[in-house]
A and B are shown apart, each in its own frame.
Chain A
Amino acid sequence: MAGTDQKFLPAVIALAVIVLGAAAAAIALSPPASESAHLHASRSPSLSGEYPTPERHTGPQGRVGQFIAKCAYSHSAPDDPIVHYQHPGRSHRHDFYGAVATNAFSTPEQLLAGETTCTKTADKAAYWQPTLYDHDEIVEPVEAIAYYRAAPGVTPTDVQSFPFGLAMIAGDQTATSPQVGEAAGWTCGIDPILTPMPRDCADQSPLHLNLTFQDCWDGVHIDSDDHQAHVTYSTAGECPSSHPVHIPQLTTAIKYPISGSGHDFRLASGHTYSAHGDFLNAWEPEGLEREIQICIHRNVVCNLNNNKDDDALLQ
């Protein structure tokens, strides 16, 4: 046996050299995140080491089951019922969608009892993100488009409903350099390829901020001190044992009436690198459960989003 091993040793070493060489070459060729124009979904979420990030669906819609709530822009305020609960005015300025009465005192029960701007009337959830400024002028967004799907690799029938009142934050509001991974990123139209800063967009596919929330829950807490610890992202379709419950992967795409060049953007939270967004679940539980069972468990397309009704088509 030993003789046999020795006989193959040179080949094994040669193979190792080739493999390692290729890996080294690949590393050398890969641009660091800060220089990468396009962050691709194939990037491992473990690269960050400290800040978990999602694996995303990057193909065109129509391939995996999904439902969509389109929620028109509702209002703006320096409030944050997750991070600064009961402290009005303490937050940077946020744009709100979905539940119409969201403020610093909002509870999920209050949101559920109120009206919504969403096309799915069972969706009383609150969605928000820091206000975008262009040359220091407020950019009033058009809408938040909320996609609900099983995360890539997740068995659709494993997905359970969000617990009522679940709070989640996607993206890192403290980032002063490009965020690792793709919890938050900018794009044009329905293009799934994200960049860490806004890029120039065509008229037919205006600027969007995409935020992908955590899809694994600890099964116990609807919030946590840092608003992160109770949820995390799946990897290759698996949730870690600390967060064993699969919940829908929510991606919100914030649509802005912005295209072309010559812009100078910042967010209320700072540089556009600091993109992040919040979700406070106040869906009518039966309505949410039904959409999950019909659209995610059965893996069908219940809604599509495209550019067929985009204003820019007529420009």
Chain B
Amino acid sequence: MHSKPWKLLLVVMAALALVAGACGSDDDSDSEDTSANTLKVPQDYDTIQEAVDAAAEGDLVLIDEGVYNEAVDVVTPNITLRGTDRNKVILDGEFELENGIRVPETDGVVVENMTARNYVTNGFFWTGSDYYKGSYLTAYRNGDYGVYSFDAYHGQFDNSLGWGSPDAGFYVGECYPCDMFIDNVDAQYNGLGYSGTDSGGDLYVINSDFTNNRAGIVPNSGAYELCYPSRGSVIAGNRIWNNNLVDGPGINVSLLAQSNGILLGGAVQTIVEKNLVWDHERGGIISVPYPEEDARDIAPDKSTWETPCEETLDNEPAEEVPDWVIWHPWENEVTGNTVESSGMADLAVATVDPAILGSPSDGVTTASLENCFSDNTFTTSAPADIEALAPCDGDPTSDDWANNELDLVGLMGNPAAEPPEGLYQTTPEPPEQENMPGDVTEIPQPYTGPELPDVDSIEVPSKPDDS
């Protein structure tokens, strides 16, 4: 569908050409610069769509202040769409249009410094598109996701706000290895602050704020989409607090995840480190299974987890699938976090045997999941003394897994009340957001992919002044 080798080659060649241009004579670089144009909306083109359609590779579509009732499709590769003022360049779907900006199978598209609100599905959406970047974006009151990538590789979301979506403020789905990061974003009033179904591998969620969602950060696995399981994500340096929203929007799966800070729902080999997590009515950082009824496939064996997503798309599902498939949360590492004031447990790990749901036992126990916990600052855990039971370094000094076991049935059997349909449409307005730095009229260099973060340099953040 994308990421075909020849396309990757083209991007690499384009990058090399750029480097060659930069190293060439002044004349060469001048001619390179003059080939890219700025297309202004509404000065040169009445609509964003007209400007995007008229743009050529390398161009900047510069959108001036105004409210645009448009659903824009971008099929010109390697262009940048930029607002002159993030708070005053507003795409508005009026709860009629589907997506603010949709980028289908088109590489190198950067969208920055603008707002998309009131769309039936998504604010900003890349699907099947590589080398993508969403930066200084505000997405609010959109019916599915705020800022969303699916089957997309080599990208980043940064300095953006996802606000008031019933599914997730930020979502990364169906990619492995994704080669993307989410940095310094803010998610509020959503069902889930961040969600990533069946995605992972060089996928980082860092240095961001998640508050007043139904649940904060929720990578999860399931055979209802492809490229399962969710694996190898890194969640580091985030502030996650008071995700206990009960009177805001939320799809039903978010009601199950309700009132947890970081919930690993059947995600595996996730690294959760140096986050500050506080004030959750249920769990701070919890690693739990996702029980999927009538699933279309079984959970794949660990030996397949490093297989790139694209090589698994045509795999035939298992012939025999039990009524319930348990997506166990294998091998997650939770280190160096500070977790406070959680109603059930600051740190927790648990799973269930499918036998309790009437399917054949798989023999997996909480102890056998090989999750580990070290160097965290916390008060309560389930099971008790979790760092002695399952340290990341060194041998366990306890084996009493039964002491204060997590009440999974109590956790998952008491979802929050279902909100009324369309509640997202009444989410309050977000406050003004910071504009992108620099000269907004400057034509940018083509985007050639993310510089992945140095997680070692990340430190546990401190609380915001007004929290």
CA distance A41 to B174 in the complex (A): 25
A88 interface residue, CB < 8 Å from B? no
Chain B neighbourhood of A39, CB < 8 A: none
A300 interface residue, CB < 8 Å from B? yes
Asked if residues B104 and A300 are in contact (CB atoms below 8 Å), the reply is yes
B88 interface residue, CB < 8 Å from A? no
Asked if residues B73 and A290 are in contact (CB atoms below 8 Å), the reply is yes
Q: How far apart are B270's CB and chain A's nearest CB, in angstroms?
A: 20
B456 interface residue, CB < 8 Å from A? no
| Residue in A closest to B125 when the chains form the complex, CB atoms | A302
Most-contacted residue by chain A among B104, B251, B418 (CB, 10 A): B104
| Residue in B closest to A120 when the chains form the complex, CB atoms | B98
Q: How far apart are A54's CB and chain B's nearest CB, in angstroms?
A: 20
| Residue in B closest to A312 when the chains form the complex, CB atoms | B293
Would you list which residues of chain A between 270 and 312 have a CB under 8 Å from chain B?
290, 294-295, 298-304, 306-312
Chain B neighbourhood of A61, CB < 8 A: 225-226
Q: How far apart are A76's CB and chain B's nearest CB, in angstroms?
A: 21
Would you list which residues of chain B between 391 and 423 have a CB under 8 Å from chain A?
415, 418
CA distance A205 to B224 in the complex (A): 11
Known: A63-B314, A190-B224, A308-B253. A298 touches B296 (CB 8 A): no
| Residue in B closest to A304 when the chains form the complex, CB atoms | B225
CA distance A93 to B296 in the complex (A): 34
Name A301's contact: one of B106, B127, B224 (CB within 8 Å): B127
10 A-B pairs in the complex with CB atoms less than 8 angstroms apart: A60-B224, A60-B296, A60-B297, A121-B96, A189-B294, A203-B293, A205-B293, A302-B127, A312-B293, A313-B253
CA distance A310 to B96 in the complex (A): 23
B10 interface residue, CB < 8 Å from A? no
Asked if residues B121 and A294 are in contact (CB atoms below 8 Å), the reply is no
Name A205's contact: one of B97, B294, B297 (CB within 8 Å): B294
B323 interface residue, CB < 8 Å from A? yes
What number of B residues sit within 8 Å (CB to CB) of A?
A: 42
Asked if residues B253 and A62 are in contact (CB atoms below 8 Å), the reply is no
Chain B neighbourhood of A294, CB < 8 A: 73, 75, 102, 104
CA distance A201 to B323 in the complex (A): 10
Known: A191-B294, A204-B293, A308-B251. A63 touches B105 (CB 8 A): no
Asked if residues A202 and B252 are in contact (CB atoms below 8 Å), the reply is no
A314 interface residue, CB < 8 Å from B? yes
Chain B neighbourhood of A224, CB < 8 A: none
Asked if residues B294 and A188 are in contact (CB atoms below 8 Å), the reply is yes
| Residue in B closest to A122 when the chains form the complex, CB atoms | B98
Known: A205-B293, A295-B104, A309-B253. A300 touches B127 (CB 8 A): yes
Asked if residues B226 and A60 are in contact (CB atoms below 8 Å), the reply is yes
A119 interface residue, CB < 8 Å from B? yes
Chain B neighbourhood of A309, CB < 8 A: 166, 251-253
Name A314's contact: one of B227, B313, B418 (CB within 8 Å): B418
Asked if residues B225 and A314 are in contact (CB atoms below 8 Å), the reply is no
Q: How far apart are A255's CB and chain B's nearest CB, in angstroms?
A: 14
A65 interface residue, CB < 8 Å from B? yes
Chain A neighbourhood of B415, CB < 8 A: 313-314
CA distance A65 to B75 in the complex (A): 15
Asked if residues A298 and B294 are in contact (CB atoms below 8 Å), the reply is no
Asked if residues A298 and B224 are in contact (CB atoms below 8 Å), the reply is no
Asked if residues B150 and A301 are in contact (CB atoms below 8 Å), the reply is yes
CA distance A308 to B323 in the complex (A): 18
B331 interface residue, CB < 8 Å from A? no
CA distance A308 to B292 in the complex (A): 11
| Residue in B closest to A193 when the chains form the complex, CB atoms | B296
Chain A neighbourhood of B253, CB < 8 A: 308-309, 313
Chain B neighbourhood of A205, CB < 8 A: 293-294
Name A202's contact: one of B96, B120, B251, B293 (CB within 8 Å): B293
Asked if residues A60 and B252 are in contact (CB atoms below 8 Å), the reply is no
Q: How far apart are A305's CB and chain B's nearest CB, in angstroms?
A: 9
Would you list which residues of chain A between 109 and 146 have a CB under 8 Å from chain B?
119-121
Known: A60-B224, A294-B104, A314-B252. 14 other contacts (CB 8 A): A60-B296, A63-B313, A119-B120, A188-B294, A201-B294, A202-B323, A294-B73, A294-B102, A300-B127, A306-B222, A308-B253, A309-B253, A313-B255, A314-B256
Chain B neighbourhood of A310, CB < 8 A: 252
B99-127 Cβ-contact flags toward A at 8 Å (1 or 0): 00010111000000000000011000001
B128 interface residue, CB < 8 Å from A? yes
B385 interface residue, CB < 8 Å from A? no
| Residue in A closest to B2 when the chains form the complex, CB atoms | A300
Name B1's contact: one of A65, A120, A313 (CB within 8 Å): A65
CA distance A39 to B102 in the complex (A): 37
Asked if residues A300 and B151 are in contact (CB atoms below 8 Å), the reply is yes
A188-219 Cβ-contact flags toward B at 8 Å (1 or 0): 11111000000001111100000000000000
B182-225 Cβ-contact flags toward A at 8 Å (1 or 0): 00000000000000000000000000000000000000001111
Q: How far apart are A190's CB and chain B's nearest CB, in angstroms?
A: 7
